[in-house]
């Protein structure tokens, strides 16, 4: 698999505080990578290191296979755009003026792509309205447009929907999906709004105390969090035979417990089991959400 971003035992220390403590992660090309962690877990610190705003204390990170210790990393960073903490926009300028200013900063030869970018983020009709009069959602979309001015194929977004109203969240979600699907832009999203991430992410990295505790694909997470019926019986060998006959998907957990990934007719199941001397002791519905899975990984506490 080809990775846009890789880190290896990355560390960032501030005196006696370890913001990142041996963090290793992998962001596949073409992914929407949900970066999940509690307040102070190290999400924004990592993003600052990726963008070159700070230097790591130890370890390494690479963009497109180029190490941060290599002088060529500057060229790799030109292939990425980022919105870190708050959008980098000029509040006394219009949306169009903001994009033109960013084009000048990047040394672009003209403003040919400005209209297309304004249309892409839904700000083509803002006219002479200054950014200071924009809603929070509009400012966030303008910040993303500014990050796209260099035509990047890797976009880093730090809490892009934080503080937005439901309509603003939908607009940002649809924009991220469009950028990923239509422009094949790899996206790294730091967020604590786990339900919203589950509508976007193709891959996840869970961070706690400056370390990645687990990386997984959306498919793997769905399998972990999928709805099931958990049954406790006197003999799971008999249960397995009966479930095979009923053509139900299941997973044997131990000698007495199993998860059934369907809603079986409990009466039929009980009758079939009794014929072979097996009894049902308990039946419970089990549905682990992304948030409960996350808490089981890193423990409770407040989120950013």
Give residue-wise pLDDT tens across range 51-76: 999 999 999 999 999 999 999 999 99
Q: What is the pLDDT of residue 288?
A: 65
Sign of the four-CA dihedral 165, 167, 169, 171: negative
Q: How far apart are CA 245 and CA 21, in angstroms?
A: 50
How would you write the pLDDT of the chain (304 residues) with one tens digit per residue?
899 999 999 999 998 899 999 999 999 999 999 999 887 888 999 999 999 999 999 999 999 999 999 999 999 999 999 998 888 899 999 999 999 999 999 998 889 899 999 999 999 999 999 999 999 999 999 999 999 999 999 999 998 988 888 899 999 999 999 999 999 999 999 987 788 888 899 999 999 989 999 999 999 888 777 778 899 999 999 999 999 999 998 989 999 999 898 888 999 999 999 999 999 999 998 766 777 788 878 765 444 4
Beta bridge partners of 21: 11
CA–CA distances in Å: residue 29 to residues 63, 65, 230 = 11, 11, 37
Q: In the chain, which ranges are continuous DSSP H helix?
A: 43-51, 73-77, 95-106, 114-120, 136-147, 166-183, 194-197, 218-225, 236-245, 266-275, 290-298
Q: How far apart are CA 45 and CA 189, in angstroms?
A: 14
Longest Cα pair distance anywhere in the chain, in angstroms? Answer: 80
Q: How far apart are CA 200 and CA 26, in angstroms?
A: 18
Predicted structure pTM score: 0.80
- Domains, the chain, in order of start with CATH, read 90-151 (no CATH), 226-287 (3.30.70)
End-to-end CA distance of the chain: 31
Please give, one letter per residue, the 3-state secondary structure of 232-267: EECCHHHHHHHHHHCCCCEEECCCCEEEECCCCCHH
Q: How far apart are CA 295 and CA 11, in angstroms?
A: 24
Beta bridge partners of 58: 11
């Amino acid at each position: 698999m080809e990775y846009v971003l890789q880190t290896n035992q990355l560390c960032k220390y501030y005196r006696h505080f370890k913001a990142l403590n041996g963090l290793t992660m992998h962001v596949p090309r073409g992914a929407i990578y949900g970066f999940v962690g509690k307040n102070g877990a190290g999400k924004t610190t990592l993003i600052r290191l990726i963008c070159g705003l700070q230097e790591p204390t130890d370890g390494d990170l690479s963009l497109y296979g180029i190490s941060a210790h290599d002088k060529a990393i500057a060229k790799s960073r030109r292939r990425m755009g980022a919105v870190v903490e708050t959008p980098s926009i000029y509040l006394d300028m219009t949306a169009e003026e903001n994009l033109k200013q960013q084009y000048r900063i990047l040394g672009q030869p003209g403003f040919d792509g400005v209209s297309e970018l304004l249309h892409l983020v839904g700000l083509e009709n803002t006219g002479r309205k200054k950014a200071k009069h924009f809603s929070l959602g509009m400012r966030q979309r303008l910040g993303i447009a500014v990050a796209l001015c260099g035509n990047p194929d890797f976009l880093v977004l730090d809490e892009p929907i934080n503080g937005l109203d439901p309509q603003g969240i939908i607009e940002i979600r649809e924009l991220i999906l469009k950028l990923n699907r239509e422009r094949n832009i790899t996206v790294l999203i730091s967020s604590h709004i786990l339900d919203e991430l589950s509508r976007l992410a193709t891959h996840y990295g869970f961070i706690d105390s400056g370390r990645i505790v687990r990386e997984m694909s959306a498919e793997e997470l769905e399998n972990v969090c999928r709805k099931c019926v958990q049954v406790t019986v006197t003999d799971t060998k008999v249960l397995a035979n009966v479930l095979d006959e009923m053509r139900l998907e299941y997973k044997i957990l131990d000698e007495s417990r199993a998860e059934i990934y369907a809603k079986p007719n409990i009466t039929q199941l009980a009758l079939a089991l009794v014929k072979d001397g097996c009894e049902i002791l308990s039946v419970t519905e089990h549905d682990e959400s992304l948030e409960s899975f996350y808490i089981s990984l890193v423990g409770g506490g407040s989120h950013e």
